[in-house]
Structure 1
Amino acid sequence: MTSPEALIDSTPYGAAGSGSGIDFDWAYGAFERRDRSLDGRFVGAVLTTGIYCKPSCPARRPRRENVVFYPDGQAARAAGFRACRRCLPDEVGRDRIAVERAVALLQEENAPRLEELAALVGYAPHHFQRLFKRETGLSPARYARERRAERARRALEATVNVTEAIYAAGYSAPSRFYAETGKELGMTPSAWRNGGANVEIHWDIAETSLAPMLLAATARGICRLSFNEDEADLRARFPHATLVRGGDHVAALREAAIAACDNPAEMPDLPLDVDGTAFQQAVWRELRRIPPGETRSYAEVAAAVGKPSAVRAAGSANGANNVAVLIPCHRVIRSDGTLGGYAYGLDIKRALLERESA
């Protein structure tokens, strides 16, 4: 989680409005779309009513010239404004502090269960479950599993013995390790460390209206969707996997993947087998939440996953996406409105966005 000060530092200075360093257009855009993910990052104060609100406040939106922005309620009160009784903006600060504390507790090897976690931060379990998921996009249990999975990845890269990685990652027993990392990592732990060893990957190349598409899948789902790549590129990513061209498994996914390229606004729900850190996975989930025909900036994606100062990291996570189109990294553009980069060329990115807008 990130403090309001970090948010201010991550946005342009010299903006209109409060003079606090918060970019006025960016903040007003959050108010217009009632962006709940930015609640607690700043408040908007209305000059005509003397009230300050959080971005997601359901009240009618004020005119642009009547709004100024402050990093928090304390700054707004110091300027003479009072808190909105409808959205209770000061309560958001308490909620975020609780979530931040919970996140720290869930980083530990022996992470507490929901009941204990909620008691430690002063909330009822069922209420805190909803609050935590609203702020992070994950349940506390899922967040803890992803933290362990991330530790497992690092441990598997650093050790030569899977048993050593079990305890280094914080698992209580080998059975727990294999049951959980098999789900989180997609492949078995040894296969993850050894570039796909003992994993069979079926693949094929299909002609699409965009470019030749490489589609590869494990038994769990699609692990690679790319353009203008071939078997050599796939082998470089999974040097020790058994690569099999064609087969019923990849054929069952092929037509739906082609259709997604032709009409990305109608995204099929296909099984994916992707790997990444907890932050990367959070970014990829956020990309799939962007409505077809809309775009977000790297800064907006970073803020949406609760890390507004991690704009560069969000860009890196976007670039690390192994499944084009289905995880729509093409919907992320620069803050100035230009397309930015794309692994398969701007012509393909532009075509995908045009098709979604149409």
Structure 2
Amino acid sequence: MENRAIPLRTPLDVEAAWTAFERRDRAADGRFVVAVKTTGIYCRPSCAARRPRREHVAFYPDPDGARAAGYRACLRCQPDTVTRDRRAVAEAIAAIEAADEAPALSDLAERVGYAPHHFHRLFKRATGVTPAAYARACRAVRAAQALSHEMSITQALYEAGYAGPSRFYAESEHRLGMAPGQWRRGGEGATIDWAVAPTPLGPLLIAITTRGLARIAFEPDEKALIAAFPAATVRAATGETLRRLAQVVAEADLADPQLPEAVRRTAFIEAVSRRWLAPMTKA
């Protein structure tokens, strides 16, 4: 998916802003507002209303500037809520990352002052994944880190935040691409195909087995992969496997460019992972 965020500067790049407004670019929401002279209102760039003529439009860096110029907020797209929405998503992400176990959606929504259904939709629009999926991504990272340390698999799964062994083993085959013990032994007996795909967030390495994902990380080459799995057969992906990997990466959604890069990378990795694993996890 193309990252269409525009690098607006001070003063605003008016032509870039107009282009974003014309295509209703959600990535530009919160970066400026669009004031319509004929109606006296200001909107988000992504507002669904019919586009006015270019000469009837003015751009402001924020709602305060538009209000000072005499414009009022659009009741349809509610541009004043963008900052509040972003803060709510950022607070929820911080809560998820800090929690030992994934917080319930109702608890997250109550924490940030939204109805659960609305916040679920808001979070997914901002990050490209659901709150539950983002929590699984954080847990998968913790599990891999814990398994890399000198502790038992049981200790590792509780350290990662799993409530018990059943959930860990249900997910680990696909999330590790092999049995946890095999993963800890450097991929003993496994065959791993890998590819590096270009993304707007940097080169993404994806390493797969017939059972799932052995590694997915923002890395430029296979060096770390080989170091992590010295006992496995590691080979470059080819043919249909390579084509499908490229397609999965291309179709994954990108998070709001206003979020921290680490958050955007975590969300993107989870979006790619879920797309790749979907056929394997269907009942």
| Same fold at TM > 0.5 | yes
Structure 1, unmatched stretches of 5+, are 1-6, 204-215, 225-231, 261-269, 275-283, 291-303, 328-358
Q: Percent identity?
A: 51
Match 2:59 to one of 47, 51, 69: 69
**Equivalence for 1:143:** 134
Alpha carbons of structure 1 residues 147 and 49: separation in structure 2 relative to 1, 3 Å: same
2:82 aligned with 1:92, yes or no? yes
| Equivalent of 1:288 in 251, 255, 275 | 251
The Cα of 1:221 is off from its aligned counterpart by 5.8
**Match of residue 115, structure 1, among 106, 110, 122:** 106
**Distance in 1 between residues matched to 2:102 and 2:224, nearest whole Å:** 39
The answer to whether the 8 A contact 2:175-2:214 is kept is no
Task: Give the deviation of 1:171 after TM superposition.
Answer: 2.2
Equivalence for 2:29: 39
Q: Which deviates the most, 98-107 or 68-77?
A: 68-77
Give, in whole Å, the separation in 2 of the partners of 1:131 and 1:119.
14
Q: Which runs of 5+ in 2 are unaligned?
A: 195-206, 216-222, 277-283
SS at match of 1:141: helix
The one-letter amino acid of 1:116's match is D
Deviation at 1:103, TM superposition (A): 1.8
State the alpha-carbon separation in 2 of the partners of residues 173 and 289 from structure 1. 30
Shift of 1:310: 5.6
Whether 2:176 is the aligned partner of 1:177: answer no
Aligned partners of 1:116 and 1:313: how far apart in 2? 21
What TM-score comes out, normalization by structure 2 length?
A: 0.66
* Cα distance, 1:219 vs structure 2: 1.2
Tell me what 1:13 maps to. Answer: 9
Is 2:257 the partner of 1:307?
Answer: yes
Could you say what the CA RMSD is over the residues aligned between the two structures, in angstroms? 4.5
For the residues of structure 2 that align with 1:114 and 1:233, how far apart are their CA atoms? 35
Alpha-carbon distance between aligned partners in 1 of 2:249 and 2:54, rounded to the nearest angstrom: 28
Specify the alignment match of 1:54 in structure 2: 44
Q: Look up the SS of the partner of 1:55 in the other structure.
A: coil
Map of 2:279 onto structure 1: none
| Structure 2 contact 177–213 (Cα < 8 Å) conserved | no
Shift in CA distance, 237/116, structure 1 to aligned 2, threshold 3 Å: closer
1:44 and 1:67 in contact (8 A); partners too: yes
Amino acid corresponding to residue 305 of structure 1 in structure 2: A
The alpha-carbon deviation at position 142 of structure 1 amounts to: 1.1
Q: Deviations over 1:244-292 (max 9, x none)?
A: 99xxxx9xx94x458x5xxxxxxxxx4x6x9xxxxxxxxx9773258xx
1:148: Cα distance to partner?
Answer: 0.9
Distance 1:11 1:116, change over 3 A: same
Distance 2:167 2:19 in 1: 45
Answer yes or no: is the 8 Å Cα contact 1:105–1:111 preserved in 2.
no
Secondary structure of 2:129's aligned partner:
coil
TM-score computed with the length of structure 1 as normaliser: 0.54
Q: Does 1 or 2 have the higher relative contact order (CA < 8 Å, sep 6+)? A: 2
8 Å CA contact 1:31, 1:55 repeated in 2: yes
Letter in 2 for 1:239: P
- Contact 1:118 1:128 (C-alpha < 8 Å) held by counterparts: yes
In 2, Cα distance between equivalents of 1:161 and 1:98: 37
C-alpha distance in 2, partners of 1:99/1:41? 16
User: What is the aligned partner in structure 1 of residue 146 from structure 2?
Assistant: 155
> Within the alignment, does 1:125 sit opposite 2:121 as a pair?
no
Count residues in correspondence: 249
1:70 and 1:76 in contact (8 A); partners too: yes
Change (3 A) 1:233 1:135: closer
Taking the TM superposition and a 5 Å limit, the aligned residue runs for 1:257-272 are 260=243, 270=244
Corresponding residue for residue 298 of structure 1: none
Query: Does 1:134 pair with 2:90?
Result: no
